[in-house]
Structure 1
Amino acid sequence: MSVTGRASNGAEAVGATLAACGIDTVYGVVGSGNFVATDALVRSGARFAGARHEAGALAMADAHWRTTGRIAACSVHQGPGLTNTLTALAEAAKSRSPVVVIAGATSAGMTRSNFYLEQAALITAAGGAAEHLHRPDTVTADTARAFRRAIDEQRPVVLNMALDVQAATALSPEDPVAVLEPAGRPQPAAHVLAELAEDLLSASRPVLLAGRGAWLSGARAATAALADRVGARLATTAVVKGMFTGHPRDVGIAGGFSDPAAVETLESADLIVALGATLTTWTTRGDTIFRGPVKVVQIDREHSALGRNGHVDVGIVADADATVCALLAEVGDRPGASRFGPVERSAAPVAPRPSAEGASEGTCHPADITARLEEMLPAERSVVLDGGHFIGWPAMGWSVPDPAGFVFTSAGFQSIGLGLGAAAGAAVARPDRLTVLATGDGGFLMAVSELETLVRLNLDVLVVVYDDRAYGAEVHHFFHHGSGLDLVRFPDADIAGIARGAGARAVTVREQHDLAQAADWFAEPRGVLVLDVRIDPTVVGPWADQDFAGH
């Protein structure tokens, strides 16, 4: 692709260049420092979705990428506009989501401006990449470079737009600016492939563990075929839930949200091949899957991702799909030694129920309400998870059509409060799927301003608030501390009333039959429905031991 700048000033050149690069959606909060560039992008054909908070805007752009594989822009003001994005920026960076952020920046030498800040230092500290408009005659090239880096590096790139360069006459480059496509798909050397093929064929209990890198490389079909060929079982990290649903060798999510079949498979494996997965503490259940004699091979395009887990024996810099396809050819029709057979597990998702006891009066058991909603919701859905103790129930109990239908907003940074913004991005990007947000009362109230965004944009979204009137993870973790639990508990809030005030439809759910009040919405989802589900705060999910692992 080539881009030639044609604009009257630098700000307009930024907008026109991003449109020429293929960006067709921009989320943001517009102020004086990003107004002209955003307007130019919209006039060049992009649609604009305005957020109420910059963190929400960046979460929207992140969810846009996760649900479509297309890069969106996020537009914010200089100084406080940028600082407001930082939690969402860190989450996008840790989750390797490419987003182009255009941010105003103070003019060169304006160190006395109230807006002055070392923006590049903040951006890089959060894991993003900082780019700049250097001179009026380089604006088009600078903007195209920011877009290209987002693609190549798979992380958010912030283009700092100095006000003086924005206002200056933009000089068109003499030659078109090339926006290079990512390089080819690297695969291992022949001897490395041969050794890995032998490992797979000789292993008695091999596991292929796919992460986001495998999904993005398009490795689903080839990985499933390799599992069939060598008798391996299939597992995924949480963020690519649904990648192998329906395959007889699929054990589901590896990690804190594993079911018994996955735990048994992973803890008994003698070979684990991680495809585009960084093997975090969550994925490895605090590294308990490595307790036995197991060889661990990690394959990732990003050299920096290799060896973060000290249990990795072999690290290979390569594309997941290219490697698996090459392994299929290398293995050929040779018989393997695997003793793994098909997996005996329920085809339908099961929300874990730690005990047979019912919920306390006036509350719902989170497993039961999760299971009932799974029955009521359409199969074509985008499930968005906020952060908090509750997340295991929807993560394990709700199905998704594929990993693009699962937006886990706290997977990278373990934050709360990004769910409402991400739900807006998912609903804008994928109107063909019903967006379903699972959030806690803490995350919901932290970012409640974006509820108005959902209503204003006329989006079809179900918001399920798992309301335990507390920061539940902290309550369960410090339950035996002896004091201080009032620090993380809150009085009842009328969440349904708050939602109605924002223009949404809302129901307070204390028992399952309360869902009947919204039966017509479930029959034909239109607009925003908020369910304030009062869950029993004493119920502890089996993943609670991992809530603070690795802190």
Structure 2
Amino acid sequence: MQVHDAVARTLSEQGVDTLFGLMGDANMLYITDFVSQQGGRFVPVVDERSSLLMAAAYASARNCVGVATVTHGPALTHAMTGLVEATRGNQPVVLVTGDTPGVASHIQYIDVRAVAALAGAGYERVWSGASAAPDAARAFRRALTERRPIVLDVPFDLLEDECGSDELAARVELAGPHDADEESIDAALGLALSASRPVVLAGRGAVHGGARDTLVELAEHLGAPLATTLLARDLFRGHRLDLGVSGTVSTGVASGYLATADCVLAFGASLNQWTTDRGHLLQNARVVHVDRDAARLNAHRPAEISIVGDARAVAAQLLDHLKAAEVEPSSRSNDTLARELAEWAPERSFTDRSGTDTIDLRTAMVTLDRVLPRERNLVTDAGRSMTTPWKFVHGDDPRGFMHSVNFGSIGLGVGTAVGMAVARPDRPTVAVVGDGGFMQGVVELSTAVRERLPLIVVVANDGAYGAEWVKLAEYGLNPEGSRTQWPHLAGLAEAFGARGYTARTVQDLEKLEDVFADLQGPVLVDLVIDPAASLSD
């Protein structure tokens, strides 16, 4: 067995079934082995940064380690933005690349370890043929336990070296959940039972831990409404006391309750500045914070009680203690809150500012929420338009939601959406992106076409860089300098092999309901909006 065989076999042994990347000298051998000998799937990208975006989306949707691969030198620097995005999103990804051939002044040489460090990623290296399999497996172990990308450096000069053994490293698995200590459980229950306005808050860790039903039962026992972080959005959708997302995109009903909550039981949630709306929400609450990763506890705000543990396991412990102590379910009905939540209507939360030939983005998102298939994934790019779908376009499963805002870069949405569509092909993936971001990432539309993915790209097209439009106006300057001109986007989509449509009215979107219901490949909707129309009232 040669090193390139060992790398491909290690990928398969670690449970990898899909590899995203762009082929070159440094990786063509093990990519070919992975497909032809291990039966894996290789999804070729157009832009190297997209390999990281797709792998990160795949990892998030499947709760696994995603794998990307690029060749050496400029391919690695091209991938840098995607690597930083995945790192700041705490995504367990292995990026397989490698040092250039060991010749003097190789034109594509770059220090792979330094690039990884600059991105905030970890670094591992295959040191020899004899250590190839355990070296590669170590990268998976670190990605899984550290919840961040690890760059695996497989030097070009080692690829055809003999391994000397066919033995592979065992598959890396996370340790199972363990019980929290009794003292912490009792203290947490003391806080929760003494509260008059408690809230049970779930984050992405609760989603991955399968904690929904246990958290619902716990909340009902405590008489507490339920809320989520953005990354766990719609986890409790349909429950009478679902507050929705806590934070900067909360509804008025939810933010009113959360601002006066006196106890929050947070499971698998980081409680960052966006979840707390920069401290405005949950400011009066005493916090019980539960997370598998001790480093995440108290990272953004102090908690009265911090518990290291799995969300579902700790919630089950709390329930068991309540029942063992014969604590009766709370008689708190929350009927007024339930009625306010039921009566809240998104279309009444803003003033529609559609024009004669433009549609208000909020109205468009409310309409899309109605006409899209109920089972769908949602991906958003960074930019002015990103929070609007967060508020108004819902999903049936939070594992199907992802944004590409961790590094604040536009242009990452389409690549991220392709990864989501590969991970969850049983339902359409809806990508909402700005026009500038779309033009930066448009090349990956060809990937979606080639792979025949059920992808709907909705371009919020205001013919300008919208955030800059707003900021220039706030400075009292003429915002026209942020305008730009694009080609006809629907025609551009068709040139890539997708179907393209232009929508200026609610009726234009409603006519696409049948198209959305029977996707035969990617579809683009050019949503024409006015950059001067305010997104807030």
Q: Which residue of structure 1 lines up, in the alignment, with residue 34 of structure 2? A: 41
Query: 8 Å contact 1:352–1:541 — kept in the other structure?
Result: no
SS at match of 1:390: coil
Q: Which residue of structure 1 lines up, in the alignment, with residue 430 of structure 2? A: 436
Using the alignment, how far apart are the partners of 1:282 and 1:413 within structure 2?
15
Query: 8 Å contact 1:508–1:532 — kept in the other structure?
Result: yes
Using the alignment, how far apart are the partners of 2:216 and 2:3 within structure 1?
49
Using the alignment, how far apart are the partners of 2:261 and 2:452 within structure 1?
48
Question: CA shift at 1:335, angstroms?
Answer: 4.2
SS at match of 1:436: strand
1:516–1:158 Cα change, 3 Å: same
Q: Which residue of structure 1 lines up, in the alignment, with residue 209 of structure 2? A: 217
Using the alignment, how far apart are the partners of 2:362 and 2:81 within structure 1?
30
Using the alignment, how far apart are the partners of 1:349 and 1:87 within structure 2?
39
| Residues paired across the two proteins, number | 532
Letter of the 1:521 partner, please give it.
V
Using the alignment, how far apart are the partners of 2:343 and 2:18 within structure 1?
35
Map 1:77-226; keep pairs closer than 5 Å.
77-107=71-101, 112-172=105-165, 176-226=168-218
Using the alignment, how far apart are the partners of 1:315 and 1:205 within structure 2?
20
Q: Which residue of structure 2 lines up, in the alignment, with residue 447 of structure 1? A: 441
Deviation per CA, 1:176-234, whole angstroms, max 9, x where unpaired? 52233211213421111110011111111111111111111121111111100111111
Q: Which residue of structure 2 lines up, in the alignment, with residue 366 of structure 1? A: 361
Using the alignment, how far apart are the partners of 2:32 and 2:81 within structure 1?
26
Q: Which residue of structure 2 lines up, in the alignment, with residue 249 of structure 1? A: 241
Q: Which residue of structure 1 lines up, in the alignment, with residue 299 of structure 2? A: 308
| Residue among 266, 270, 273 paired with 1:281 | 273
Q: Which residue of structure 1 lines up, in the alignment, with residue 463 of structure 2? A: 469
Question: CA shift at 1:519, angstroms?
Answer: 5.4
Q: Which residue of structure 2 lines up, in the alignment, with residue 460 of structure 1? A: 454
Q: Which residue of structure 2 lines up, in the alignment, with residue 547 of structure 1? A: none
1:526–1:348 Cα change, 3 Å: farther
SS at match of 2:75: helix
Q: Structure 2 length normalisation: TM-score?
A: 0.93
Deviation per CA, 1:298-328, whole angstroms, max 9, x where unpaired? 2211122122213433333222111111111
Using the alignment, how far apart are the partners of 1:521 and 1:452 within structure 2?
20
Query: 8 Å contact 1:469–1:491 — kept in the other structure?
Result: yes
1:155–1:337 Cα change, 3 Å: same
1:83–1:349 Cα change, 3 Å: farther
Q: Which residue of structure 1 lines up, in the alignment, with residue 372 of structure 2? A: 377
| Residue among 221, 228, 236 paired with 2:220 | 228
1:201–1:15 Cα change, 3 Å: same
Question: CA shift at 1:167, angstroms?
Answer: 2.7
Unpaired runs of 5+ residues, structure 1, are 1-6, 544-551
Map 1:259-278; keep pairs closer than 5 Å.
259-278=251-270
| Residue among 289, 294, 319 paired with 1:298 | 289
Query: 8 Å contact 2:220–2:329 — kept in the other structure?
Result: no
Using the alignment, how far apart are the partners of 2:161 and 2:343 within structure 1?
59
Deviation per CA, 1:277-310, whole angstroms, max 9, x where unpaired? 111211111110144x321222211122122213
1:403–1:369 Cα change, 3 Å: same
Q: Which residue of structure 2 lines up, in the alignment, with residue 325 of structure 1? A: 316
1:524–1:208 Cα change, 3 Å: same
Using the alignment, how far apart are the partners of 1:179 and 1:200 within structure 2?
40
Question: CA shift at 1:155, angstroms?
Answer: 2.1
Using the alignment, how far apart are the partners of 1:325 and 1:105 within structure 2?
48
Question: CA shift at 1:481, angstroms?
Answer: 0.5
Q: Which residue of structure 2 lines up, in the alignment, with residue 548 of structure 1? A: none
| Residue among 8, 13, 21 paired with 1:20 | 13
Deviation per CA, 1:322-341, whole angstroms, max 9, x where unpaired? 11111111222414778571
Query: 8 Å contact 1:54–1:82 — kept in the other structure?
Result: yes
Q: Which residue of structure 2 lines up, in the alignment, with residue 29 of structure 1? A: 22
Letter of the 2:106 partner, please give it.
S
Query: 8 Å contact 1:209–1:277 — kept in the other structure?
Result: yes
Deviation per CA, 1:231-287, whole angstroms, max 9, x where unpaired? 111111111111111112210011111111210121010011221111121111111
Letter of the 2:305 partner, please give it.
V
Query: 8 Å contact 1:145–1:179 — kept in the other structure?
Result: no
Question: CA shift at 1:457, angstroms?
Answer: 1.4
Query: 8 Å contact 1:140–1:172 — kept in the other structure?
Result: no
| Residue among 47, 50, 53 paired with 2:44 | 50
Using the alignment, how far apart are the partners of 2:478 and 2:179 within structure 1?
54
Identity of aligned residues (%): 35
Asked if residue 488 in structure 1 is aligned to residue 482 in structure 2, the reply is yes
Structure 1 window deviating more from structure 2 (475-484 vs 130-139): it is 475-484
Using the alignment, how far apart are the partners of 1:482 and 1:140 within structure 2?
61
Question: CA shift at 1:463, angstroms?
Answer: 0.8
Q: Which residue of structure 1 lines up, in the alignment, with residue 396 of structure 2? A: 401
Query: 8 Å contact 2:272–2:301 — kept in the other structure?
Result: no
1:402–1:111 Cα change, 3 Å: farther
Using the alignment, how far apart are the partners of 2:469 and 2:10 within structure 1?
50
Structure 1 window deviating more from structure 2 (393-402 vs 489-498): it is 489-498
Q: Structure 1 length normalisation: TM-score?
A: 0.91
Deviation per CA, 1:60-85, whole angstroms, max 9, x where unpaired? 11111222224332110112212222
SS at match of 1:428: helix
Question: CA shift at 1:452, angstroms?
Answer: 1.1
Letter of the 1:330 partner, please give it.
H
Letter of the 1:540 partner, please give it.
S
Letter of the 1:146 partner, please give it.
A
Question: CA shift at 1:391, angstroms?
Answer: 1.8
1:63–1:287 Cα change, 3 Å: same
| Residue among 513, 530, 533 paired with 1:536 | 530
Using the alignment, how far apart are the partners of 1:439 and 1:101 within structure 2?
26
Query: 8 Å contact 1:381–1:400 — kept in the other structure?
Result: yes
SS at match of 1:369: helix
Query: 8 Å contact 1:67–1:429 — kept in the other structure?
Result: yes
1:167–1:340 Cα change, 3 Å: farther
Question: CA shift at 1:348, angstroms?
Answer: 10
Runs of at least 4 residues of structure 1 off by over 4 A? 335-340, 345-355, 516-520
Q: Which residue of structure 2 lines up, in the alignment, with residue 549 of structure 1? A: none
Deviation per CA, 1:468-527, whole angstroms, max 9, x where unpaired? 122222322442212363453323542222212212111121223334664552342211
Structure 1 window deviating more from structure 2 (517-526 vs 421-430): it is 517-526
Using the alignment, how far apart are the partners of 1:295 and 1:147 within structure 2?
37
Query: 8 Å contact 2:362–2:535 — kept in the other structure?
Result: no
Query: 8 Å contact 1:220–1:244 — kept in the other structure?
Result: yes
1:82–1:237 Cα change, 3 Å: same
| Residue among 61, 67, 79 paired with 2:55 | 61
Unpaired runs of 5+ residues, structure 2, are none
Using the alignment, how far apart are the partners of 1:298 and 1:72 within structure 2?
28
Letter of the 2:238 partner, please give it.
G
Query: 8 Å contact 2:353–2:533 — kept in the other structure?
Result: no
1:423–1:167 Cα change, 3 Å: same
Letter of the 2:93 partner, please give it.
V
Asked if residue 390 in structure 1 is aligned to residue 382 in structure 2, the reply is no
Q: Which residue of structure 2 lines up, in the alignment, with residue 3 of structure 1? A: none
